[in-house]
Structure 1
C-alpha cells in the first residue's frame, strides 16, 4: 500500500509533526502521480492517440479520488498542519496551483479535440446528405423526374474506435 493511501485512510486527526509531514507528503505523492498521468493524457490527445489516452482513465479516477480524500484530511487538520509544518503547507499549495494550470491545459486540449471531431462528423453528414442537381442545359434546366439525386459516393462508414 502506498504512503499516500496509508496516510489518508488511517489517520483522520493529526497530533504530531511527523504525522503532519506524512499527511502532506502522502497528498503530494498522490498529486504528483495524478499530474503525471494528466500530462500523459494531454499529450496523447494532442497527438490524436485517443484510444491510448482512454486507457489511463481508470488509474486517473483512482488517483483523483485518493487526492481528494487527502485534501479533505488536510482541510480537517488545517490548524495542526499550519502549526507543525507550515513550509510543507506552502509546498502543497504551490503544487496544487501548478496542478490547476495543468488541468486547464488538459481541458483546452480535450475541448479542441471534441470540437474538431464534431466538425468532421458534421461535415461528413452534410456531404453525405447534400442533394445534387443534375446538370442540364441552361441555368434552370432539370432532367426528368430525378432532378435531385444523391451523388454516386456510396455508403458512409464511421469508425467508433476514433
Structure 2
C-alpha cells in the first residue's frame, strides 16, 4: 500500500489553502449526508443510497484533510489561527449533521427490520395448519415446522 505524501505548511498561503480544502470537503460531504437523510426520511431509499460512492470518496478526502491538519497543527496556529477557529465551528456543525444522518439511517433500518420480521411472521402463520383454531406445527428434525419455507424479498422496491 502506498502512503500519500505528507503536506508541510510553511506559509500563510499554504495554511489558508489547507483550511479551505478541508472546509470544502466537509461542506460537500455535509450536503451529500443532508440529501441522503432527506431521501431516506421520505422513503426514497434508492435515491438516498445512490451517492454511496461519492459519499465514501468525500469522507476519505475529509479524513485525509483532518490528518494533514493534525500533522500541521503548529503551523496552522502560527499562520492561520482564524482558520483553526473556522474549522472548529464547521466541525461542530458537521458533527450534528452526521449525528442526524445516523439517526435517520438507524430509524430506517429499525423500521425495515420490523417490517420484514412482521412479514415473515405473517407468512409463517398463514402456512401453518390449524386444528380447532390453533396452529399446529409438525415436529421436524431441523427445528422448524414442516410448513415453513424460505422468505423471498425483492430489492426492487
2:20 pairs with 1:25: yes
Q: Secondary structure at the match of 1:129?
A: helix
Candidates 49, 52, 64, aligned match of 1:54: 49
Q: Secondary structure at the match of 1:12?
A: coil
Partner of 1:133: 130
Superposed CA RMSD: 2.3
Partner of 1:79: 74
Q: Kindly tell me: are residues 156 and 66 of structure 1, through their superposed partners in 2, closer, same or farther at Cα, counting changes over 3 Å?
A: closer
Structure-2 separation of matches of 1:72 and 1:156? 46
Partner of 2:64: 69
Give unmatched runs, 5+ long, in structure 2.
138-149
Alpha-carbon offset, residue 158 of structure 1: 2.8
2:127 pairs with 1:119: no
The one-character-per-residue Cα deviations of 1:27-80 (angstroms, maximum 9, x if unpaired) are 101111010011000111111111111111000011111111111110010001
Higher Rg of the two aligned structures: 1
* TM value normalised by structure 2: 0.81
Runs of 4+ in structure 1 off by over 6 angstroms are: none
